[in-house]
Amino acid sequence: MLHIGLNFGFGKHDPAISDHELYRSETELAVMAESLGYDSVWAVEHHFSDYAFCPDNLLWLAHIAARTERIGLGTGAVILPWNAQPLRVAEKLLMLDNLSNGRAIFGMGRGLSRKEFEPFGVPLDETRERFDESAAMVVKAIQSGFIEGDGPFYPQSRTQLKPGPLAPWDDRIYTVAGSHDSMVSGVNLKARLMSFVLRPVDKMMPTFNSYLDLYRETWDAEPHPVCLNVAMYCHEDEKVAMDGMYEYVGNFFEANVAHYEMDGVHFANTKGYERYGDNAALIREKGVSKAGKDYADAALYGTPQMILEKLEWIQEQMGQFELILQPSFGGMSHEAAKASIELFAREVAPVARERYGAKLALV
């Protein structure tokens, strides 16, 4: 069955809205997701600005766990270099999993923004080594109940963690990866690939195929489907949906470029981020507005029928996949986001799941 979840970004476009209102809105939508039939809710980790602020996604997910019964609880993602002790990440994951009766999903990432790394005192050119060292320690710890490490950044004597593991984590570990090094790291840990969709899926297939092929080569086994994390706006009126998506995605993309300095020149000379240097050059060449339109075109938007057609096209490109929707972003009101996820749940999700399963049965 097609897995469909919601990923909450905690971004505030309108400064007149209080931080408390933003949290109340995202939390209400996440709790609603269970009754609407979604399979999982996810939370980003971000710090220090209105671009996005969820400094402890595991804490928020524990709150959601207490207000729900079955829905999966995913970190999208824990940015490991921002967390000074892998031990604390592993402890909190195990605690969330025990509190939620085995519903935790561990997504991990490396991070990108200088504006977030600088207050933590972590140089960008150390993030690859820090991520690899921490990720290996955390994954082994949540599986075994013991953590240890002899690396240069996180030396750790062998220590038992309490509460210990509740259930196997084999299919509950994800990595956000785009570069070849990140894919190698994820494959080595048998992590599933989560990708934030910034371009139409057909243009991302070389990246996805590189991961899938590397997994098969490394483990002589079939990898799990790629997990797509994509902006979504569903409305019964086509014009409202399209106008809204371009407005919301445009706002979000501009905030994204500013936060990550995506049009900056520093990536080209920063170890481990050279790939982003090429993207930055492309944004400078196209301009932010044109690049933002390309991003919007990759999103899921329109009437239920339009979104169903796009999901069928995605399956034609990819075969199997998982779908995580970004339901609120770029100044979208709480009421608009709520109506969108309700309409998607009512008219898109059941049909998409049926068609997805039928197509897989023919393979």
pLDDT for the residue 361? 83
pLDDT for the residue 250? 86
In the chain the first and final C-alpha atoms are separated, in Å, by: 14
d(CA 30, CA 316): 30
pLDDT for the residue 337? 98
Domain assignment present for residue 272? The answer is: no
CATH code of the domain covering residue 173 = 3.20.20.30
Domain assignment present for residue 306? The answer is: yes
Q: CB of 108 within 8 A of CB of 176?
A: yes
In angstroms, the Cα distances linking 177 to 51, 100, 227 are 21, 27, 11
Q: Domains in the chain: how many in total? A: 1
Cβ–Cβ contacts within 10 Å for residue 21, how many?
13
Domain assignment present for residue 293? The answer is: no
pLDDT for the residue 313? 97
Q: Count of residues for the chain?
A: 363
d(CA 251, CA 284): 18
pLDDT for the residue 88? 98
pLDDT for the residue 180? 80
Task: Give the three-class secondary structure for 219.
Answer: helix
Q: CB of 229 within 8 A of CB of 192?
A: no
pLDDT for the residue 268? 62
User: If you write DSSP's letter for every residue of 4-56 in order, what string do you get?
Assistant: EEEEE------TTS-HHHHHHHHHHHHHHHHHHT-SEEEE--EEEETTEEES-
pLDDT for the residue 177? 87
pLDDT for the residue 192? 97
Nearest to 42 by CA among 132, 103, 117, 116: 103
Q: CB of 340 within 8 A of CB of 301?
A: no
Domain assignment present for residue 280? The answer is: no
Largest CA distance in the chain: 59
Question: Please, what's the b/e burial string for 92-101 (b: 16 or more CB within 10 A of its CB; e: otherwise)?
Answer: bbbbbbbbbe
- Partner residues linked to 192 by β-bridges: 174
Question: Please, what's the b/e burial string for 234-267 (b: 16 or more CB within 10 A of its CB; e: otherwise)?
Answer: bbeeeeebbebbbebbbbbbbbbbebbbbbbeeb
Domain assignment present for residue 111? The answer is: yes
- Kindly report the pTM of this predicted structure: 0.94
Domain assignment present for residue 45? The answer is: yes
Domain assignment present for residue 214? The answer is: yes
The helix/strand count (H/E) of the chain reads as 13, 14
DSSP state of 124: G
Domain assignment present for residue 328? The answer is: yes
Range of the domain at 252: 4-261+299-362
pLDDT for the residue 115? 93
Nearest to 226 by CA among 243, 242, 209, 250: 209
pLDDT for the residue 280? 55
Ranges of residues in the chain whose predicted pLDDT is under 50: none
